Structure 1
Amino acid sequence: MNPLLLDVPLKLETERLMLRAPLQAGEGEMVRQAIGDSFNELKSWLSLFQEPPTVEETEVMLKNAHINFLKRESFRFLIFDKGGNDFIGTTSLHNIDWNIPKCEVGYCINTKYSGNGYMTEAVKEMVNFVLNHLEFKRIGIKCDSTNLKSRAIPEKLGFVLEGILRNDDLSADGKKLTDTCVYSIIK
């Protein structure tokens, strides 16, 4: 089946969270604020955030995420607390290969919400969605070997550490080589 014909929900829910595709104009300010709240941490791990983005840049990023969602090239969801509707972070499916089918999961949390299990809960829902709704055969998570918070999520969710790729990538600031952990879960 052509992926464009798949019925992909724009919203997923867990006990505490609502995950929804970025659709609404004006969400760039909310996301930009969360990036600002977490900038020091994000800067350590993501080359994309070596400088804080403007609201306009963030709006463009969200519009592109929506376009990619519609084209079934990647699926980004904004994460909200169902109780207070606070914006918590994002999770996404990327590097999708519809022929296998397989993908990778990425995630990013506003630092002020860290330590509450929100991201583990959101990624668990994404894994459930991918394995049971999309019927993918493999989900991967890749992260820097020294990013212990990021590594804790696949480890809590039963992913297998397939290996550590030595000198696989550059640090977010581009100044040194880093090792990459490769986790997966299969159906």
Structure 2
Amino acid sequence: MNPILLDFPEEFYTERLHIRMPNPGDGKVVHEAILASREELKPWMPFAQKEQSVEELEANIREAHAQFLKREDLRLHIFHKETGEFIGSSGLHRMNWDVPKFEIGYWIDTRHSGKGYMSEAVQGITDFAFRELKARRVEIRVDSRNTKSRRIPERLGFTLEGILKNDALAEDGNGLRDTCIYAKVK
């Protein structure tokens, strides 16, 4: 089946969060979150390596919106359900619709870290993938040095299937990195 024909929700809720596809107009809040979090994100995220303008981020978000609709990549934005504040970004990436399998990636606005929001979001996205997308496998790939990020799949019961040694150049250009592969399967 062609994935563009799949109908599934473009948003859902967890106990404290509203999780939805990126929409035109999200650029400003995402830009503010990246600026507030850039130093914490820089060792791990390619988009944090150079400062981007609001316009550049808005264009990126509009591309992500189109990719979501075309089922090529399912970026998701995370907002606080009560206040509407932008918390961070996640999504289902590197999909193989034939299996189907997905990889969850995530980052959080530093001003909201340490409150369990990303663990809640990742659990919600995992449940969404298994329930709505009939996933057979959900992966999380994490730089072995990123201990905060590693705690999320460990806390949520993902299995560490292996560590790929010298898998990639570190995002900040500081040597090679090892990649931990966590997964849940159905």
1:104 alignment counterpart: 103
1:56 alignment counterpart: 55
2:119 alignment counterpart: 120
Secondary structure at the counterpart of residue 45 of structure 1: coil
Secondary structure at the counterpart of residue 125 of structure 1: helix
Name which of structure 1's ranges 130-139 and 47-56 shifts more when overlaid on structure 2: 47-56
CA RMSD after TM alignment = 0.9
Deviations along 1:27-54, one digit per CA (max 9) or x if unpaired, are 2111000000000011111122111211
**What is the one-letter code of the residue matched to 2:97?**
W
Structure-to-structure mapping, 1:17-96, within 5 angstroms: 17-23=17-23, 25-96=24-95
**Separation in structure 2 between the aligned mates of residue 22 and residue 47 of structure 1, nearest angstrom:** 19
1:157 aligns with 2:156: yes
**What is the one-letter code of the residue matched to 2:14?**
T
1:172 alignment counterpart: 171
1:5, distance to aligned residue in structure 2 (A) = 1.4
2:130 alignment counterpart: 131
Name which of structure 1's ranges 31-40 and 47-56 shifts more when overlaid on structure 2: 47-56
Q: 5+ unaligned residues in a row in structure 2: which ranges?
A: none
Report the number of matched residues.
Answer: 186
**Separation in structure 2 between the aligned mates of residue 118 and residue 173 of structure 1, nearest angstrom:** 26
Deviations along 1:56-93, one digit per CA (max 9) or x if unpaired, are 11001101111110110111111111111111001110
Secondary structure at the counterpart of residue 43 of structure 2: helix
Identity %: 49
TM-score (ref. length: structure 1): 0.97
**What is the one-letter code of the residue matched to 2:88?**
G
Secondary structure at the counterpart of residue 138 of structure 2: strand
Q: 5+ unaligned residues in a row in structure 1: which ranges?
A: none
**Separation in structure 1 between the aligned mates of residue 108 and residue 90 of structure 2, nearest angstrom:** 9
Secondary structure at the counterpart of residue 168 of structure 2: strand
Deviations along 1:120-161, one digit per CA (max 9) or x if unpaired, are 000101000101111110011001001011101111111000
Q: Which runs of 4+ in 1 moved over 3 A?
A: none
